[in-house]
Structure 1
Amino acid sequence: MPQTSPPTSTPPGRLAQFRALSAAQQRTLLAASVYLPLCWLGLRFMGLPRLQAWLQRRPLVAATPAPALALADIQALGEAVNIAARHTPFHATCLTRSLLLGWLLRRRGVASELRIGVRLTQGTLDAHAWVECGGVPVNDRPDIATQFAPFGDLVPLDAFQS
């Protein structure tokens, strides 16, 4: 009689992973699934300065006061946007993800900064975008600012505005 191996645990399905998220993360994941394509299109048709201005046109203070979000909650929202980006039918860049996260945080009354950095790797210029709250990256590795030189440190961001 052939010996059977014990059942192996399979990774949880997407629905189980979704249910394991907090309610705020679930809402953010669903919103990001809808808004990521719009941000992607906005970048292509409006360009970064106009899209960024449009996303920031709403005042930072939320219409209905919400309790302040802890850094861990903000980072969880960033992870929810990143998860949504991994499951979109198009390539959601770091810039698209970061613009959307900044907008979502702004809607919640949370001040954040879009950071765009560059580095030279084997003769190739690489660029990367992330969001910081209080100087802490919230949708990327904690040491991302050491990997990329932020534009704001090199050239005033106003120089890129038309």
Structure 2
Amino acid sequence: MKIRELSWYERRVLVQSCVLLPLTAVALRLIGLKRWQSALAYLARIDVSRPMAQVDPWRQTYATARMVKAAANNGFYRANCLQQSLALWWLLRRQRIISDLRIGVRKESGKFEAHAWVEFRGTALNETGDVHERFISFNGPISIAKAKS
């Protein structure tokens, strides 16, 4: 993927992702998941009285997920799945797209493993469709206690 082939929307999301991923890594170390997710939710408060833009939400969610993945794989910071998922969750929320942060676990070769991903309307955006077969998800999405939707 070449930058000049991206739309302006994709370029903007790519730049935002390149900034947000290392910021998320630092924030998770300093204040933890719940407090960082609450801060992100506050920064991307959703005004439900404002009409939503007339765009295809599926196209927008997949484009956003692609740019977060591109930033994580090709940017100056290699983010893990939780950092990528929090960034994607927040970027979608800023676009008034409600998604769910999911965390799942498994035991593979005697090792405990955890994995994070984002779902939109029950479909994993930054993960393959078989993620539910590979990881046991906690009941319900990981949500913030006082997020304003």
Which structure has the greater CA radius of gyration? 1
User: Above 0.5 in TM-score?
Assistant: yes
Instruction: Give the alignment of 1:22-101 within 5 angstroms.
Output: 22-57=7-42, 58-61=44-47, 65-101=52-88
- Gaps of at least 5 residues in structure 1 are 1-13
> Identity rate of aligned residues, in percent?
37
Letter in 1 for 2:28: L
How far did residue 59 of structure 1 move?
2.4
110, 115, 119: which is aligned to 2:102?
115
Is the 2:101–2:119 Cα contact (8 Å) retained in structure 1? yes
Runs of 4+ in 1 over 4 A off after TM superposition: 62-65
Distance 2:47 2:94 in 1: 8
Q: Which has the higher relative contact order, 1 or 2, with Cα contacts under 8 A spaced 6 or more apart?
A: 2
How far did residue 53 of structure 1 move?
1.0
Q: Residue 103 of structure 2 aligns to a residue in which SS?
A: strand
Using structure 1 for the length normalisation, give the TM-score. 0.78
| Cα RMSD (Å) | 2.4
Using structure 2 for the length normalisation, give the TM-score. 0.84
Aligned residue-pair number: 143
- Gaps of at least 5 residues in structure 2 are none
